[in-house]
Amino acid sequence: MPAALTRISGDAQRLIAQAAAAPGGRHAKILLKKAVRKLGSAARLAARAGKRQQVSPSCAGALRGLYLDGKARTETLVRALKSAP
């Protein structure tokens, strides 16, 4: 697995953990938006790694799906924070 993919995935996990511990909703929303961008980048990197034979195409597809699912879930959290008082 490419080191960049591991690093970006870890960054996204760290940002989500920081958002969960954030004292204010505004700060949590900012951190979650950053995590959404990181997860999108990770999905693109996973697809690219599959095309370049760094990982098997089936593994790359599965990773891409997981990252896109995480991105969608994080976007849902951001929308929930926007609608919260």
**pLDDT tens column, 31-82:** 999 999 999 999 999 999 999 999 999 999 999 999 999 999 999 999 998 8
DSSP E strands: which ranges in 1-85? none
Number of structural domains (the chain) is 1
Cβ atoms of residues 16 and 74 within 8 Å: yes
Q: Which domain holds residue 39?
A: 3-83
Please name which of 45, 78, 77 lies closest in space to residue 64, comparing C-alpha atoms: 45
